[in-house]
Structure 1
C-alpha cells in the first residue's frame, strides 16, 4: 500500500510517499481500505512535533478516516468485510489501508458518503462537546466562535445553531465571512475590516455569553473583555501560534468562567458525558447535519492539502482521497 510518511519532524513539505506492506489484523482488529481522510490542524502539529503529545518519527499522519472493511480479526463480530466504517486515532489515516481495533470504528450505512463521514468526525465531536458539555450553551444565548470558517469553527457555527444559540462568527476575510453566513451564522465579524474588535462585538451581539476560541493570541483577551458578566470562555486551541496570558483580574471582575477542552482528555476523564454527546451527535448526523467539505486532494498531494490548512486559506474541511475513494469501490 501507499502511505504518507513523516520520517522527521518538520513542515509538511518534508513528508514523503512510501510503499509499505499491507497491514494484517490482530484477533480484535479490522483492516480498512481508506477512501477518505480528513486533514486537521492537529495533523500539522504532530508532523512538526508541536502537539502536547509527541509522535516519534517515522509515522503515518492522519487522525480520521472512512472506508470499507477489507479484513477482520478472528474475534471480531461487530463489523464484517465489505462494511462501510469511519474511525479516528492519533495517526495512520493518510494511507491506502489502516488497521484499527474493531471497537474503535463506527459502522455506517451501506450508502454512506465516505468523504462526509471522514470530514465530520473529530471536528464535530470537538465542537459539539465543547458547546454542549463544557460551555453548557443554552437556547437564545450568543456564542462567539473564532476561526469560524475552519473545521472546528464551521462545525461550531452549525452545531451552535442546532443547540438553539445565536452565533457570531469571527473570521479573517470577506470570503470566509460569506462562507459563515451561508452556514447560518447570525452575525459575522471580519477581522480584516474591523479596527476595534471589542466595540464591534458589542455592536453585533451586545457581548457573547459564550466564547469558543481556537485561535488564541491577542484576540482571546479582547473577546474575554467583551464577554457578558458570568459568561463562559472555552479555549480549544491556539491556531495563531501564540498562547495568550489572560489577566486574572478580568476573570474576577466579570465573574467569567474560563475552561479548556481537549477531546482525548474529555473522552478519557468524562466518559459518560462523551458517550451522551456521541449519541446526540449521531442523531444530528442522521438528520443530514455534517461538515462542509470545501477541498478534496488526492493522497499524493498531501503537502498541498496540509499547506492549505496551515495557511488558513481553506473554508470548512479539507479531505484527502485515495485511489479507492476516487474510484468509488473497495
Structure 2
C-alpha cells in the first residue's frame, strides 16, 4: 500500500510503498477514505510535537474510513462500519491499524471528508470553550487565526454557545470565511493594532489564540478583568512568555489546552464532548469548512498549504 512517511526528523517526508498492516488485539484495520491535516503534522515532521514517534512512521493524525477487519477481543464494531479515529499517526495511507477504543461511529449524514476534518478541530474548540474556559452566553470571545483549522471551529462553536465573537485573521478573504462561520466583528491582522481594536469593541472575556508570540501578548493586554486565555497553538512560531504581573493585576487566568492529553487522564470528558458534537452536526448546527481537498499522491502539496498558511479551514487528503 502507499503511505506518506517520515524517514528522519528534519528531513522531507514522502510517499512510499509499505506492507499493509494486520490488526492486533484490541485493534481494527481501517480502509482509509480521508485524512485531515493539522498544524501538529508539521511539528511531527521535525520531531517537535508533544508526542514523538520514532522514525520511520506514517503521518496523519485524524482519519475516517470503513472498518475492514477486527483484531482479537474487539467488540462493538463490525466490518463495514463507518468511523473516524484520532490516530496520532498513520492516517496518510490507504489502510491503517488503530485502537478500537479510539473509533467513533459516524452519523449517516456525515461524509468521510467532513469526518476527517472534525474530531481534533471541533473537539479542541469545544473542550477549550466549554470545559476549560466555561464560556457564557453574552460574553465576548476573541479568536485569533480565526480562518484556520481550529480557529474557524472556535468561531462556530462560540457563536453556538451564545457568545459575541471577534475574529482576527489575515486579509479580507479569510475574514469573509470567519464571518460566514458566525463572527460578529472582524479584525484584519495584517494591518490592525489588535490590542486597540479589541479594546475599542469592549475588550475580550475569553481569548482563543492559535498564533502565539506578539498576537497572544496583544490579546492578553486587551482581555477584560477576570478574563480567561486559551493558548491553543503557536502557528506564528513564537511561544509567548507570559508576564505574571499582568495576570495578578487584572485577575486573569491562562488555561492550557491539549485535547489529545485528555485521552490519558480523563477520556470520559472527550467521549462526552465528541458525542455532543456529533449530535450538533447531525442536527445541522455545525458544518466543517474544508478549504482544499487533495489526493494522496499530492500529500506534499497539501502539507505546503499548511506551511504557507494559505489554507482556510481544513486541508483534507483523500485516498
What is the TM-score normalised by the length of structure 1?
0.93
Task: Name which of 264, 268, 284 aligns with 1:268.
Answer: 264
Q: Does 1:226 align with 2:222?
A: yes
Q: Distance in 1 between matches of 2:271 and 2:55?
A: 32
Gaps of 5+ in 1: 323-330
Q: CA RMSD in A?
A: 1.4
SS in 2 for 1:100: strand
Q: CA deviation at 1:10?
A: 2.2
Q: CA deviation at 1:102?
A: 1.6
- 1:235 aligns to what? 231
Task: Name which of 250, 267, 274 aligns with 1:278.
Answer: 274
- 2:156 aligns to what? 158
The range that moved more, 224-233 or 278-287, is: 278-287
Asked if the contact 1:35–1:96 (Cα under 8 Å) also holds between the matched residues in 2, the reply is: yes
- What does 1:133-148 correspond to in 2, within 5 Å? 133-148=131-146
Q: Distance in 2 between matches of 1:253 and 1:35?
A: 51
The range that moved more, 210-219 or 267-276, is: 267-276
What is the TM-score normalised by the length of structure 2?
0.96
- Alignment length, in residue pairs? 318
SS in 1 for 2:80: coil
- 2:304 aligns to what? 307
Q: CA deviation at 1:110?
A: 4.7
Q: CA deviation at 1:68?
A: 1.1
- What does 1:100-119 correspond to in 2, within 5 Å? 100-110=98-108, 112-119=110-117
Q: Distance in 1 between matches of 2:88 and 2:45?
A: 11
User: CA deviation digits over 1:188-210, x for unaligned, max 9?
Assistant: 1101131x22111122x300000
Asked if the contact 1:140–1:165 (Cα under 8 Å) also holds between the matched residues in 2, the reply is: yes
Gaps of 5+ in 2: none
Q: Distance in 1 between matches of 2:165 and 2:32?
A: 35
User: CA deviation digits over 1:204-236, x for unaligned, max 9?
Assistant: x30000001111101111111110111101111
Q: 1:306/1:268 Cα in 2 relative to 1: closer, same or farther (>3 Å)? A: same
- 2:9 aligns to what? 9
Q: CA deviation at 1:74?
A: 4.0
